[in-house]
Structure 1
Amino acid sequence: MTPNLLASEITIEDLTIEGPHGAIPVRTYLPSTATRGLVWVHGGAFAFGDIDQPESDWVAREMAARGVAVVTVDYRLAAVPEWASAALGAPVREGVLFPVASEEVTAAFTWASTLLPGVQPSDWSLGGASAGANLSAGAAMRLRDEGVTLPRTLLLAYGLFHAELPPLQAELAAKYAGLPLEYAVFTPEVVQLINLNYVGDPAQLSNAYAFAGGHTLEGLPPTFLLNSEADSIRASGDKFGAELVAAGVDVLMICEKGTLHGHLDNPDSPAAVRSIRRMATWLTSDLITEQG
């Protein structure tokens, strides 16, 4: 599948919507005609990233070029603590704690699926990459429990869905062990620091809306799981996929060969282009089980 709309046929607009914690900046990418929609959430370990990075903007433009209306969400970020500042060279910054970002993603999906014209509420999907995949899964859990209209599907790229990084299976462990040190960053210890920085209170690590993995997943919509091949976070994606299957959820899981964590942030990579094609096919397919 190749893009079939010119850039001039896509209207891109920055807006703010009302949210439970104040105004939420969003960006809409609206094709001249669209029958499907996607609310898409960037990653960044809950503390970094924005709607201008390729993982957000490039993905949205590619989906819109294929006739999918897209809304990206500039949710409030967690703090940048001293340990992250020292490791990444980013300035220390205050931030918010769970459930702020999770509730903002939920609010953005509700806004898009009920107020944006052109796409029926039942034809909106929800998804994101890395931390954005986590936030999307948690938002879907909340929507399910509230008994409101669920996303048509979930589209989750290299997400962390568990409060603790699951053990790496032998095949993944071998690939991860072969990485240069600068790419082997998501150790269990680092993942624990990231997750605690997101929730603040260790008791919240067991909250299903913070980390959906290991909780009751019945009733979630059909889910596309895209994993990066040489990525320790794939252990969480693999386990979450198995949990979804055990819960009776329709799942398509892809391991994109030759990729590291965050590969959608590299638009020049052939693997990222392959992933875009897979994602677009999922979103526009008429064969996916509809939720009754």
Structure 2
Amino acid sequence: MTLVAELAARLALIDDMPDMGAAPPSPEDIARFEKFFAPVGGYRPPDALVEEHEAPGPHGPVPVRVYRPVDRAPEARGLVWMHGGAFVGGHLDMPEADVVARELAHLSGATVVSVDYRLCNGGVHFPVPHDDVHAAFVWASTTSALLPSGAPWAIGGASAGANLALGVAQRLRDEGRPASAVLLAYPVVHDPVPTGSPEQVARMADLPRVLRFTAESTFFLNRNYLGPHPATTPYAFPGLGRLDGLPTTFVSLCEYDDLLPSGERLVADLRASGVDVVEDVVAGAPHGHLNVPGLPVARATLRAMSDVLQRA
């Protein structure tokens, strides 16, 4: 196994942990998992001007957190961003939300709106999280207090958040008000997840189960997200839907990720649909590398995202 050195050194923390998608984790398991994804020593996220707001939505108010840069001149562009968490977890304080938003505001000068969409717990299913994200994008892109009218707004997310970002980008295209760009990190866009090559399957077999998205766990998580809806419902699993007419789309994929074949298929299908695609394949990284603050490969991905955002 050739994981990036910073994470390879931490594997002993999680080697014997079970697949967290197959059963509720214990508090001890959660603590060990968080240590594995702890910040790299010496890293400090950029400062930002941070405000808490609510966007009106069809299922009630949607909490959002707005980030503006403080150590560079702000630019008239925005990004609506969604954290991951398999549709059942995640929050605005996790690194994939807070640190990513701070870094992208700092690197690009953009105003970043991080969305606290409803999770699929307690009877919540699609389209509720999708509707929350759509409402947050409409609010952000039409609120003059954030950016001048007509400023470009991109949309992006990680893992389950990337599913929501791409699904809403398709909906915005169909509504005639497209996003300026789409930024996706290790996206969840197909159901079922395509099978990888023999080499990729063998590579994943050596990874601790807690870092895996096995067929069993993705089946459970996807069914929980969909509720009574089929996977082909428009915008639910956007890799199964129409991809033409989307703006420039950045797709970051991780070498050690069961979802890599899905991401590779998405990239191929986007290109076949005439979409301008920027692909970022992160060698040695597991799914969720943006959740490790200061990880060098994560910072490289964020710089690549910022480049696309600044050109949007």
What is the TM-score of this pair, normalised by structure 1? 0.86
> What does residue range 66-105 of structure 1 map to in structure 2 within 5 Å?
66=107, 67-79=109-121, 94-105=122-133
How many residue pairs get aligned? The number is: 263
User: Matched residue of 1:213: which SS?
Assistant: helix
Q: Distance in 2 between matches of 1:42 and 1:95?
A: 21
3-state SS in 2 of match to 1:27: strand
Query: Which residues in structure 2 correspond to 1:1-292 (within 5 Å)?
Result: 7=47, 10-31=48-69, 33-66=74-107, 67-79=109-121, 94-116=122-144, 117-147=146-176, 149-183=177-211, 185-201=212-228, 203-285=229-311
**For 1:121 and 1:58, how far apart are their aligned partners in 2?**
27
Counterpart Cα distance in 1 of 2:151 and 2:241: 25
- Conserved 8 A contact 2:173-2:179: no
Letter in 2 for 1:197: N
Q: Secondary structure, in 3 states, of the residue corresponding to 1:243? A: helix
Taking the aligned partners of 1:122 and 1:95, their CA distance within structure 2 comes to: 37
2:77, 2:110 within 8 Å by CA — same for their partners in 1?
yes
Moved over 6 A (4+): none
Query: 2:168 is matched by which residue type in structure 1?
Result: A
User: Identical aligned pairs, as a percentage?
Assistant: 45
Paired position in structure 1 for 2:27: none
Structure 2 equivalent of residue 87 of structure 1: none
**Gaps spanning 5+ residues in structure 2: where?**
1-44
Indicate how the Cα distance of structure 1 residues 18 and 236 shifts in structure 2: closer, same or farther if over 3 A, else same. Answer: same
- Give unmatched runs, 5+ long, in structure 1: 80-93
> Does the 8 Å CA contact 1:37/1:124 hold for their aligned counterparts?
yes
2:159 maps to amino acid: S
Residue in 2 that maps onto 1:83: none
Structure 1 vs Structure 2 CA RMSD: 1.7
For residue 79 of structure 2, what is the amino acid of its counterpart?
L
Letter in 1 for 2:52: D
Q: Give the deviation of 1:120 after TM superposition.
A: 4.9
